Chain A
Amino acid sequence: MAISKTPHLSWSARTVVGVPYLWLLLCFMLPFLIVLKISVSEMETVVFKDLITWTDGVLQLQLKLSNYLFITQDDLYFRTYLASLKYAAVTTALCLLIGYPFAYFMARASKAVQPGLLMMVMLPFWTSFLLRVYAWKGLLSEGGWVAQVLDALHVDQVLIALALIPGPGQYMNTPFSLVIGMVYTYLPFMILPLYANLSKMDMRLLEAASDLGATAWVAFWKVTVPLSRGGIVAGSMLVFIPCVGEFVIPELLGGPQTLMIGRVLWDEFFANNDWPMASSVAVVMILLILVPLALFNKAQSDAQEARR
């Protein structure tokens, strides 16, 4: 019994480690490779031509790169990518600005009220995401509650000055409504990792900082913020990455000014039916996100290596 137990254990241990890898392979790597393959394929009416052909003793590998060339040549794609990154960055910054104090006070609230606060952050997930975004249409359009409040507070004047809305009372289908919708939707994804991080913080470190002459404000910037970097990075990625490719929110709340790459993707797939082109756009989008992230991670681990 005792002898047969060890290989059984290692088998189950291997399964535990293997399942996530299998999941990643099947659900992320494989689809990506399929998209990559489509992006370099030639269309033959409705079917894809094989990449590798064998005719008359000639092995041919045919990669169609014209889609990628087209992306670099047509100004539209460049501008849309840039707009997507810009809106994602603005959303991430706003989520951080709102989410950090929120998570901070949640983590410092008394233990009795913390579960309640956490519940309130998660409560929106109980309703369909689509419904919640759709609700903003009603709130922001003329006569909507939020629109009325904004009018009463003369926020529209500020927004016009910032060129975020075209005229008084016109909040819908503008960069303003788009960002409101994205911040609203993604805020919990910023708050939750920050809360998890901040609530674990050792409060004695703040006492130590105070003991060494730091005021509460200095201790916050020199101790709390650096120690919550993990939460800031995790939250920012959870917000930034899906925002770049966001389709539903720009479709419902955005306008002609706010063309984002998700919309372009949709059009290439379903309006133009040009799957190779659409796949190319998708691959470039993934690279746009992954390459900076990989560089960032490498810089992180290099910095840690250097300190050892």
Chain B
Amino acid sequence: MSTSDQAEAYLRIDRLIKDFGSQDGSTYRAVDNISLDIRQGEIFALLGPSGCGKTSLLRMLGGFDLPSSGRIMLGGQDLAQLAPYQRPINMMFQSYALFPHLSVWDNIAFGLRREGLPKAEVATRVEAMLKLVQLGKFAQRKPHQLSGGQQQRVALARSLAKQPKLLLLDEPLGALDKKLREETQIELVNIVESVGVTCVMVTHDQEEAMAMASRIGIMSEGRILQVGTPREIYETPATRFVADFIGNVNLMDGTLAVDEPDHVEIDCADVRHYVGHGITGHEGMPVTVALRPEKIRISSKPPVLEAGDPPAPINQVKGRIKDMVYFGSDTLYHLKLASGAILKVTQSNTERHPDDNLSWEDEAYAWWSPSAHVVLTQ
């Protein structure tokens, strides 16, 4: 299937820059020279903390802000300077922006009527959309008479009605409560995939991005730091920022002590790490070891080493439990190490009454496998 990236690029964002001027004459660069290729039919999520420029980028795709420079190529046409109503792109707005004076039916028909389609055609397409989002019964209701989840589906139907070449989702589930959000995530992805539309979404919620997107771009300060599948972003973060931003992580600064092609050893304050793969670097180089809490095991007894494991003081620490948070499905431990640093460890609660019942102020051992780490050089 996959050929070169060049052939696959459906939407090409090319060196896009957006400067906002402020009243004192200084400018603020919200989007800093972003280039990005998005494939046909994929759901791409822009993820980042607030103020990272993800919304500015989305608004430029929609045409609500015009870029200071750069191109937005969609199907061979540069859209960067076109008005929103001239673009084959539709957006599902944050908290939906449904027209309060129009019924569900008229909201969905709004875009179709602007195209000057014949009445019968408009009706057929609105009915099809209502069926797609299962809101046929509510066609004559006003938006305020619907629940949050139903409003979200109207917004989706309205943005899909014109059969856009690109669908933009601005915090699509931000206005829903947690339980409903999980159900809606799957439903939304199913609808978008059944229509086959290419989709760019913006979110600050990493679970939402992980659950819905086929690829994620992590943004910070107007730049894209890393692009990859949710698994790539989580398991092989490229930078300290990405590792720290996505999920929970223990970051330990150290120096590269042993540099072999098949493994490296890294000295940190509390422990020597044995990493089961080579990295590009040199001995004595400062590096950061990232270790996800769920990849660490914890017990009141020292670990029993198996054949092939690195010898005892490597990849294991001893500490005192300072904090415990019970989440139900798992428990988070804060283990205070000799240096005073805190190691976060999560354990799945696979048994209702575990033999090894750890508690506050208990001494405990924590250990991990040579494949658990990510070594970050930037």
Whether B100 contacts A211 by the Cβ 8 Å rule is no
B161 (CB) vs chain A CBs: closest residue: A212
What's the nearest-Cβ distance from chain B to residue A166, in Å? Answer: 46
Whether B111 contacts A212 by the Cβ 8 Å rule is yes
**Is A207 on the interface with B (CB-CB < 8 A)?**
yes
Which residues of chain A are within 8 angstroms of B97 by Cβ–Cβ distance? Answer: 202, 204-205, 207-208
Contact with A along B225-255 (1 / 0, CB 8 A): 0000000000000000000000000000000
A213 (CB) vs chain B CBs: closest residue: B114
Most chain A beta carbons < 10 A, residue from B83, B93, B110, B140:
B110
**Is A83 on the interface with B (CB-CB < 8 A)?**
no
Whether B140 contacts A307 by the Cβ 8 Å rule is yes
Partner of B114 from the list A205, A214, A307 (CB cut-off 8 Å) is: A214
Whether B84 contacts A207 by the Cβ 8 Å rule is yes
Whether A213 contacts B100 by the Cβ 8 Å rule is no
Number of A-B contacts (CB under 8 A): 63
**Is B90 on the interface with A (CB-CB < 8 A)?**
yes
Partner of A213 from the list B64, B93, B111, B145 (CB cut-off 8 Å) is: B111
**Is A223 on the interface with B (CB-CB < 8 A)?**
yes
B145 (CB) vs chain A CBs: closest residue: A308
Which residues of chain B are within 8 angstroms of A215 by Cβ–Cβ distance? Answer: 85
Which A185-239 residues have a C-beta within 8 angstroms of B? 202, 204-205, 207-215, 218, 222-223, 226-227, 229
Which residues of chain A are within 8 angstroms of B98 by Cβ–Cβ distance? Answer: 208
Which residues of chain A are within 8 angstroms of B142 by Cβ–Cβ distance? Answer: 307
B115 (CB) vs chain A CBs: closest residue: A213
Partner of B101 from the list A208, A212, A227, A308 (CB cut-off 8 Å) is: A227
**Is B103 on the interface with A (CB-CB < 8 A)?**
yes
What's the nearest-Cβ distance from chain A to residue B277, in Å? Answer: 47
Whether A210 contacts B101 by the Cβ 8 Å rule is no
Partner of A211 from the list B90, B115, B140, B141 (CB cut-off 8 Å) is: B90
What's the nearest-Cβ distance from chain A to residue B58, in Å? Answer: 12
Which residues of chain A are within 8 angstroms of B63 by Cβ–Cβ distance? Answer: 210-211
**Is B318 on the interface with A (CB-CB < 8 A)?**
no
Which residues of chain B are within 8 angstroms of A207 by Cβ–Cβ distance? Answer: 62, 64, 84, 93, 97
Whether B100 contacts A227 by the Cβ 8 Å rule is yes
Interchain CA distance A307-B104 in the complex, whole Å: 11
Q: Count of chain B residues with Cβ under 8 Å from any Cβ of A?
A: 27
What's the nearest-Cβ distance from chain B to residue A237, in Å? Answer: 20
Interchain CA distance A209-B93 in the complex, whole Å: 11
**Is B158 on the interface with A (CB-CB < 8 A)?**
yes
Which residues of chain A are within 8 angstroms of B89 by Cβ–Cβ distance? Answer: 211
Which B132-160 residues have a C-beta within 8 angstroms of A? 140-142, 145, 158-159
What's the nearest-Cβ distance from chain B to residue A219, in Å? Answer: 9
**Is B375 on the interface with A (CB-CB < 8 A)?**
no
Which residues of chain A are within 8 angstroms of B91 by Cβ–Cβ distance? Answer: 208, 211
Interchain CA distance A304-B142 in the complex, whole Å: 10
Whether B101 contacts A213 by the Cβ 8 Å rule is no
What's the nearest-Cβ distance from chain A to residue B62, in Å? Answer: 6
What's the nearest-Cβ distance from chain A to residue B147, in Å? Answer: 15
**Is B99 on the interface with A (CB-CB < 8 A)?**
yes
Whether B62 contacts A205 by the Cβ 8 Å rule is no
**Is B344 on the interface with A (CB-CB < 8 A)?**
no
**Is B18 on the interface with A (CB-CB < 8 A)?**
no
Contact with A along B274-298 (1 / 0, CB 8 A): 0000000000000000000000000
Contact with A along B144-186 (1 / 0, CB 8 A): 0100000000000011001000000000000000000000000
Interchain CA distance A212-B84 in the complex, whole Å: 8
Interchain CA distance A139-B27 in the complex, whole Å: 51
Which residues of chain B are within 8 angstroms of A205 by Cβ–Cβ distance? Answer: 97, 99-100
What's the nearest-Cβ distance from chain B to residue A227, in Å? Answer: 6
Whether A211 contacts B84 by the Cβ 8 Å rule is yes
Interchain CA distance A213-B101 in the complex, whole Å: 18
Partner of A218 from the list B64, B114, B159 (CB cut-off 8 Å) is: B114
Q: Contacts A218-B114, A307-B142: A211 and B85 contacting too (C-beta < 8 A)?
A: yes
Which residues of chain B are within 8 angstroms of A218 by Cβ–Cβ distance? Answer: 114
Partner of B103 from the list A214, A222, A229, A307 (CB cut-off 8 Å) is: A307
Interchain CA distance A24-B323 in the complex, whole Å: 65
What's the nearest-Cβ distance from chain B to residue A209, in Å? Answer: 7
Whether A212 contacts B100 by the Cβ 8 Å rule is no
What are 20 inter-chain pairs, A to B, with CB distance below 8 A? A204-B93, A204-B97, A205-B99, A207-B93, A209-B99, A210-B64, A210-B84, A211-B62, A211-B85, A211-B90, A211-B93, A212-B85, A212-B110, A213-B114, A218-B114, A222-B110, A227-B101, A229-B101, A307-B103, A308-B141
Chain B residues with a Cβ under 8 A of chain A: 62-64, 83-85, 89-91, 93, 97-101, 103, 110-111, 114-115, 140-142, 145, 158-159, 162
Chain A residues with a Cβ under 8 A of chain B: 202, 204-205, 207-215, 218, 222-223, 226-227, 229, 307-308
The 8 A-B pairs of least Cβ separation, nearest first, read A212-B111, A213-B114, A208-B97, A210-B84, A204-B97, A226-B101, A213-B85, A211-B84
